[in-house]
Structure 1
Amino acid sequence: MTATNTEFEISGVNHLALVCSDMARTVEFYTQVLGMPLIKTIEIPDGGGQHFFFDMGGDNHLAFFWFPNAPKAAPGIAAASGIPGKADITSAVGSMNHVAFTIPEDKFDEYRQKLKDKGVRVGYILNHDDSVSGVAREMHPGVFVRSLYFQDPDGILLEFAAYTRELTAADIRHEPKTAADRTVADN
């Protein structure tokens, strides 16, 4: 489904900025394991840290901050605590739950094996459909995207997502929930 933004001419994600605990380890993972070229490095003035950018393809970038005084990771609060199908993926309002990278459907199994060969722990293959559970064990015409989840060295939840069909207006059929639908009161 192609929809047009009539308010702003936005052509994609310029960059998503995350925080890492070890920039050298992050550079190694994203360049050597995922093959994303490092395209820009910045030293923040007065010893404030670093900000590095990686090319995800399609004029989209993934960036990382390294702060010398960053608080420790807070899985289950600031980010998902594990891999879907293996752990609870709930995270707090305003958190970054995961980053999904689009991959070609015909490369899905090959890329899963490549990750495993590089020592990356991968989750189950999730064939997302419109069933009650939202996931099918086997491929069928109702599957709209195949997902494979894994984590980077800091536990950031990542996903390889391969659409299996074009999304249409028929895929929009749920009413959005409101703050009143929450089961946990805000503090």
Structure 2
Amino acid sequence: MKTTGIHHVAIISSDYDRSKKFYVEVLGFPIIQETFRAERNSYKLDLRVGKNAQIELFYFPNAPQRFSSPEACGLRHIAFKVDDIEETIFYLNSQGVETENIRIDEITGKKFTFFKDPDNLPLEIYQN
């Protein structure tokens, strides 16, 4: 198998409007397409991340909860590249988003930290 990159990461939200506002207005991901599926009473919001990747933000009524700590089995977190981690942390904090303390990747020497989305999913910012 030969891959050429990651196409998308799918996230299911518990509150569509709250999550849409977070990912579009706070994190600044442009909307590619928004779809409402009446037969399922569900939404799918495609968001552009960088030049080549997407987030598919879904909403399904009464979706089951999932344990989602960064150390739980399964998808651990999504990491976004940033040029200036301190500036990004300042911005996130000014938007009411709490961030953890900056850590240093012991392998690369790069700075990174975690924060949570409205459904408490772990997200990471990683300095280029």
TM-score for both structures, normalised by structure 1: 0.64
Q: Match of 1:49?
A: 42
Local SS of the residue matching 2:22: helix
Aligned-partner SS, 1:90: coil
In structure 2, runs of 5+ residues without a counterpart are none
For 2:81 and 2:6, locate their aligned partners in 1 and report how far apart those are by CA, in whole Å: 13
2:42 matches 1:24: no
Q: How many residues align?
A: 128
Identify, as 1 or 2, the structure richer in strand: 2
The CA deviation at 1:48 is 4.7
Give the % identical residues.
27
Identify which of structures 1 and 2 has the higher relative contact order when contacts are C-alpha pairs closer than 8 Å and 6+ apart.
2
1:147 aligns with 2:126: no
CA distance in 2 between partners of 1:58 and 1:27 (Å): 20
Equivalence for 1:157 = 122
1:108 corresponding residue in structure 2: 85
Counting only pairs closer than 5 Å after superposition, residues 111-122 of structure 1 correspond to structure 2 as 111-122=88-99
Alpha-carbon shift at residue 102 of structure 1 (Å): 1.0
Secondary structure of 1:47's aligned partner:
coil
Distance in 1 separating the partners of 2:118 and 2:30: 18
- Alignment equivalent of 2:54, drawn from 50, 53, 61: 61
How do 1:131-146 residues align onto structure 2 when only pairs under 5 Å count?
Answer: 143=109, 145-146=110-111
Output aligned runs, 1:64-103, within 5 Å.
Answer: 64-72=57-65, 74-75=66-67, 79-80=68-69, 89-92=70-73, 95-103=74-82
- RMSD between superposed Cα atoms in Å: 1.6
User: Which runs of 5 or more structure 1 residues have no equivalent in the other structure?
Assistant: 1-6, 81-88, 131-141, 164-187
Amino acid at match of 1:54: L
Could you give the per-residue CA deviations for residues 79-107 of structure 1, whole angstroms, max 9, x where no partner exists? 21xxxxxxxx3212xx2221100112xx1
* Partner in structure 2 of residue 84 of structure 1: none
The one-letter code matched in structure 2 to 1:149 is: F
Q: What amino acid is the match of 1:150? A: F
CA separation in 1, counterparts of 2:24 and 2:33?
A: 13
Does structure 2 retain, via aligned residues, the 8 Å contact 1:39–1:53?
A: yes
